[in-house]
Chain A
Amino acid sequence: MTLIHLQELSKHFKILNRHEGLKGAFRDLFSTDFRTVRAVDGISFDIESGEIVGYIGPNGAGKSTTIKMMTGILKPTGGTLLVNGHSPYENRIHQAMIMGVVFGQRTQLWWDLPVIESFKILREVYKIEKKMFDAHLAMFDDLVGLKALFSQQVRTLSLGQRMLCDITASFLHNPQVVFLDEPTIGLDVSIKAKIRSVILELNRTRNTTIILTTHDLGDVQALCRRIIIIDKGKILYDGEIGKVTKLFGAYRTLKLQINDYSDATLAALREGLNGQFGVGCGTTIAQTEEFWTDVTVDQARTRLSDVLGYVMSNLSVADVRIVEISMEDVVRRVYDGALQ
C-alpha cells in the first residue's frame, strides 16, 4: 500500500538579504529586503510499504526540507503530503507513534543516563508491550551484541556504539517508517557493515519502510533498490538504483597536485588525453580544490591505470590521490543527462 504520498509538494522560505561590511551590517538592522528561496519546488512521488528508498542530493538540494515536512516539523507551502493517510504537520504526536527517526550526528537518547534507561523511557512513551520490547532487545543483542552496552551512559559510548543504540531506539516501537539521516557518517568500515546488515534485517522481518538520506554511496548501494535524486528543490531522477550505480561504480577520480600548474597546463593535458585516448574517452578534467586537479575517468571506456601512466610520464606531479566519485559529481552528471 502507498505509505507516503507527495503531490506537487513545495516549501518556500523568506530570507533576509544581508549586506557586507560595517555600514551594511548597520543598514541591515532596519532592512525589510527579503528574497524567496524555493527549497522544495513541486516534487511528487509515492513510496510503498516495505521499500528502502535512498533520497540523495547535494547540500542545499532540499533533502532535509522534504524530510522535515514528512516528519511533521515544517508546514508545506503548497501541494499534498500524506504519510499513512494523514498530513504529518497537523498530527505530529499521532504520527510520531508510527515513525522512527535517526539523526546521524546527534543522538536522541538521554545523554547522562545508561542506555537501558533510555530504552525503558521510550517503552513508556510509545506504550510498547513488554513482550515486543523484550523481543526487540533480544533481537538487537543477537544482531550486534547490544546487551553489553546497556549499563553504560550514552555520553561514554563511541560514535559507532551510539549509532547502533539510536537505530535500536528508532525501531523499538515497530514503526511503519524510519527516516535515517546520515546513519553511517564518521564510522569505520566494520561498524558500517554491521549497521547496514541490521537495517536490512529489520526491513526484511518487519517490512519497515526506510527512507535513507546520505552522502555515502556505499550505504546507497548496500541498502537501496530505489533512488530519488533531488537538486535545487526538484526531482532529477526517481527509479531503479541500477542505472545510477553504473555512474558511481564506473568512475574514479585521479586527484593530482601538478607542479608548475597554469591554465596552459590544463589545456595541454586535455589535448594530450584526447590525443592519447580519443575524444570520446569519457575523461573530464576539473579544478575543484585549490592546488588539486581532478581527472575523472570513465572506467567503462578507459583504463584508470592507462590514464595514470600517461599523466605521470607527461607531467611533473607532486602528489596523487585516487578517490571514488562524489555525490556532487553523480548529481552533476545526472543533471547533465548521464542517465538519458
Chain B
Amino acid sequence: MRAYLAYLRGAVLVGMVYRLGFIFIVLGNVLYMIIAYFLWRSIYGGSASIHGLTFDQALLYVALGSTVFILLKTYADWGMAQEIRDGTVAVFLTKPIDYQFYTFFTNLGFPLTSLITVVAPTVILLVFVFRIHFAFGAGYFFFPVSLLLAFIISFHLDYLVGLSGFYTESIWGISITKEIIVSVLSGMLLPLQFFPAAIQQVLAWLPFQAMYFTPLMMVTKPDQGVGVYLAMLGVQIAWACVTFLLCRLVYGQAIKVLRVAGG
C-alpha cells in the first residue's frame, strides 16, 4: 500500500509544478458556467420549472456537472496506451505491483489537487456571483462518497479503454466514442429528466448515470430522504464492483496478447 501512496504523492507533486495550467482549467470552467447560465436562462424563458427542476437547480446541476467532469478526467487511457506503445508496461509486469492499482493511484493525483484549485472557485462563483439558492440537506453528506464512487467507475471505464491499447493502435477512436457516450448518456450535459421516459428506463440499466446523474442529483435535490441516497449509493457500489470485475477479466485476456515494442 505504501508503494501506491508513493506514486500518488509523486503525481501530486508533478501536478503542482505546472503552475499556470491550473489557472486555465479554472478559467475554462468559469467560462462554461457563464455560457451555461445564459443558455439555461434562455431555455427556461419564463417557466418556473421544467421536468421538476427549477432554473436554480438546473444551473447548479450543469455547473457542477462540468466541475465533476474535470475531477473525473484522468488521462489514464492515453497514459496506458503510451506505456503499451513504448514498452514500459513490461516493466510493471516484472514488479510486485498490480498494474490496475498503480494506474489508479497515479491518476488520482491530478483530480485530488483539482479538488482545491477548481472546485473552490466554482462554488464561490455559484454562490456569490450567480446567487444560486442552495437548498441544504442530507444529500450533501452523501455527495463526497458518491463522488468517490463515481471516480472509481469512471476510472474503470478509462482503464478498459486503455486496455484496448493491447489490441489496437487506434485508441483515439475508442476513447472519443466512450467519452461521447458517457457525456450524453450519463446526464453530464443535460439532466436525465429531459430525456424521453423510454430512454430514461434504458439508461437506468447502464453504468453511466452512476458517474454523473447520481452524485449531481444529491446536491441538486439534497432534501430527499436518507433512504433515497443510500439506495443511490448502493447502485453506485454495485456498478463499481461490476466494472472492477470487468477490468480484471479484460486485463487477464489483454495480457496474453501483449506485444511489446523494442528489441
A residues touching B (Cβ–Cβ < 8 Å)?
18, 22, 25-26, 28-30
Contacts and interface: CB of A to CB of B under 8 A. Distances in A.
A308 B16 CA distance: 52
B19 A22 contact: no
16 contacts: A18-B17, A22-B9, A22-B12, A22-B13, A22-B16, A25-B13, A25-B16, A25-B17, A26-B16, A28-B16, A28-B17, A28-B19, A29-B16, A29-B19, A29-B22, A30-B19
Given A22-B16, A28-B19, A30-B19, 6 more contacts: A25-B13, A25-B16, A26-B16, A28-B16, A28-B17, A29-B16
Contacts of B12: 22
A22 B17 CA distance: 10
Interface in B1-58: 9, 12-13, 16-17, 19, 22
A25 B113 CA distance: 13
A30 B12 CA distance: 17
Contacts of B9: 22
Q: By CB atoms of chain B within 10 A, which of A22, A25, A28, A30 has the most?
A: A25
A74 to B, nearest CB: 23
A106 to B, nearest CB: 15
Contacts of B19: 28-30
A22 B12 CA distance: 9
A213 to B, nearest CB: 27
Contacts of A26: 16
A111 to B, nearest CB: 14
Contacts of A25: 13, 16-17
7 closest Cβ contacts across the A-B interface? A25-B16, A29-B19, A25-B13, A26-B16, A25-B17, A22-B13, A29-B16
Contacts of A30: 19
Nearest to B14: A25
Nearest to B12: A22
Q: By CB atoms of chain A within 10 A, which of B9, B16, B17 has the most?
A: B16
Nearest to A21: B13
A18 B17 CA distance: 9
Contacts of A28: 16-17, 19
A188 to B, nearest CB: 15
B90 to A, nearest CB: 20
Nearest to A20: B13
A186 to B, nearest CB: 13
Contacts of A22: 9, 12-13, 16
Nearest to A22: B13
A259 to B, nearest CB: 29
Nearest to A18: B17
Interface in B136-166: none
Q: By CB atoms of chain B within 10 A, which of A18, A22, A29 has the most?
A: A29
Nearest to B20: A29
Nearest to A29: B19
Contacts of A18: 17
Contacts of B16: 22, 25-26, 28-29
A289 B184 CA distance: 57
A208 B240 CA distance: 66
B9 to A, nearest CB: 8
A262 B89 CA distance: 39
Contacts of B22: 29
Contacts of B13: 22, 25
A30 B22 CA distance: 12
A30 B16 CA distance: 11
B24 to A, nearest CB: 14
A160 to B, nearest CB: 15
Contacts of B17: 18, 25, 28
A5 to B, nearest CB: 40
A334 B55 CA distance: 77
A123 B159 CA distance: 46
A29 B16 CA distance: 7
A71 to B, nearest CB: 29
Nearest to A27: B16
B220 to A, nearest CB: 33
A26 B16 CA distance: 7
A161 to B, nearest CB: 15
B127 to A, nearest CB: 25
A28 B19 CA distance: 8
Nearest to A31: B19
B86 to A, nearest CB: 14
A80 B8 CA distance: 49
A25 B17 CA distance: 6
A22 B9 CA distance: 9
A18 B19 CA distance: 12
Nearest to B17: A25
Q: By CB atoms of chain A within 10 A, which of B17, B19, B22 has the most?
A: B19
